[in-house]
Amino acid sequence: MRRFPVAVGRPGWETPVGQFQVIELVADPIWEHPATGVHVPPGPDNPLGSRWIGFHRDCEGRRGFNGVEVLTVEGCVSSGFHGTPQRDSVGRAVSHGCVRLFDEHVRELFELVQLGTPVTVLP
């Protein structure tokens, strides 16, 4: 068993609570801005860090304040574990529903899970 400090979803963009399973594993992911579709390639500026471990997909769309503006996302959104270049965000409720970890921790977690690994998110 491992414990890691994390960042979770901000008010209005809460991390989904419940029983899930790992549905996607991606090393060096490409991040797509959920509203504009702009892509950020793998590298030090990628908001997902170096690993993505998806555990939830919701295709009802979302609308909420993201801290700067009201963001409307049509179609599917995903939640998962990922790294972050914003180390100071870990320990706070600041994401758009994902669980952010320090990049070295998400790399460790990535090696411990596989597709179908159970994920429990508590309130």
Q: What is the pLDDT along the chain (123 residues), one digit of tens a residue?
A: 789 999 999 888 889 999 999 999 999 999 987 767 899 999 999 999 999 999 999 888 777 776 777 777 777 788 999 999 999 999 999 998 999 999 999 999 999 999 999 999 998
- Would residue 98 show up in a list of annotated catalytic residues for this protein? yes
User: Is the torsion defined by CA of 71, 67, 15, 47 positive or negative?
Assistant: positive
Query: Can you give the CATH number for the domain in which 53 is found?
Result: 2.40.440.10
120 occurs within a structural domain: no
CA distance 13 to 65: 8
What is residue 33's predicted lDDT score, i.e. its pLDDT?
79
73 occurs within a structural domain: yes
CA distance 123 to 116: 22
- Asked whether 66 and 96 are in contact (CB, 8 A), the reply is yes
122 occurs within a structural domain: no
- Asked whether 42 and 5 are in contact (CB, 8 A), the reply is no
61 occurs within a structural domain: yes
Structural domain containing residue 53:
8-34+44-114
- Asked whether 31 and 46 are in contact (CB, 8 A), the reply is yes
| Model pTM score | 0.89
Q: Which of 56, 82, 96, 105 is catalytic?
A: 82
- The total of structural domains in the chain comes to 1
Q: Identify the CA nearest to 51 among candidates 68, 30, 32.
A: 30
Structure tokens at 49: 């860090």
Q: Which of 56, 96, 98, 105 is catalytic?
A: 98
What is residue 87's predicted lDDT score, i.e. its pLDDT?
96
What is residue 34's predicted lDDT score, i.e. its pLDDT?
72
119 occurs within a structural domain: no
- Would residue 82 show up in a list of annotated catalytic residues for this protein? yes
